[in-house]
A = this chain, B = another copy of it.
């Protein structure tokens, strides 16, 4: 199955419709070698966007991805790499849960060190910060681009109103505008991408790199009979996840979706990924994997895309009561 590429909203850059993110999988569960194998497998499958964040594994996720890029000998024009900023790696009034200028510029520069790259392709504000004026944040992100530390910037989990405010202040002043939002999006979490952002796709050309396409694993079906050992829901400090993942009302829906997947001759996860990718306002679906086989399984979601006819989509809507 050939990878497909989509423009990141109205931006001129194109991202593979399935991309690869390294959330908690790096360091916590995977040793460096397996990380490198997964990145290699993803790139060979046509993935060109690799998502990361300062906060993932306390900076280790960036460090490992940088090491992989060097070891695998990737050329700079062959890949897009991102990072995101908000929580910070250091406690303190100005260095965590913030989007102030000092934090952002220091944090991005530190990221470059960890990656050992001259610049990132995308940098994100990982959450909105009500205690920093949007103008200050926008200016800092734009300045990071001016300094050559990144090529594009965006937001993650911002409201439509906040995104528009950011875009507008940038447009007025001739600063670099946000081009992308990274929202949660999956069969259980649709309102924001489908409703709240509706006007932004045309008005400001917003692209989306969506996360949690499998609803933290709920849409793999592996939590249908409780939390299996070794799964993310069983990790220490992820008790909140375990609770969500075993919600009976949602798992009843998951069972019905499993039937659809069976009919389409694909796994539930593949169905869930393909369903996200079917939305034309989704630029790329960020997938995760801790083993090479998982990468391959995820990529086969591309084969499911053409099977998602209007009839199938209607049926899925009914099951999920959308």
Interface residues of A (CB under 8 A from B): 5, 7, 10-14, 48, 75-78, 80, 90, 92-95, 98-103, 105-106, 121, 129-133, 136-137, 139, 143, 146-148, 151-152, 159-165, 168, 172-176, 196, 198-200, 203, 205
User: What distance in Å separates the Cβ of A114 from its nearest Cβ neighbour in chain B?
Assistant: 15
A-B contact pairs, 5 of them (CB 8 A): A12-B131, A48-B93, A146-B146, A161-B199, A164-B165
A190 to B186, CA, bound (A): 26
Q: How would you classify the secondary structure of chain A's contact residues: helix, strand, loop or mixed? A: mixed
| Nearest 3 Cβ contacts at the A-B interface | A12-B132, A12-B100, A173-B174
Given A48-B93, A161-B200, A203-B165, A76 contacting B12 (CB threshold 8 A): no
A80 to B106, CA, bound (A): 13
Check A196 against B161 for contact (C-beta < 8 Å): yes
Q: Which one of B5, B136, B148, B168 lies within 8 Å of A93 (CB-CB)?
A: B5
> Which B residues are CB-close (under 8 A) to A121?
102
Shortest C-beta distance, A236 to chain B (Å), equals: 29
Name A133's contact: one of B90, B137, B205 (CB within 8 Å): B205
Find out whether the CB atom of B176 lies under 8 angstroms from the CB atom of A139: yes
In the complex the two chains form, is A159's CB within 8 Å of B129's CB? no
Cβ of A142 to closest chain B Cβ, rounded Å: 9
A304 CB to closest chain B CB (Å) equals 22
Q: Does the CB pair B93–A12 fall under 8 Å?
A: no
A103: chain B residues at CB < 8 Å are 12, 77
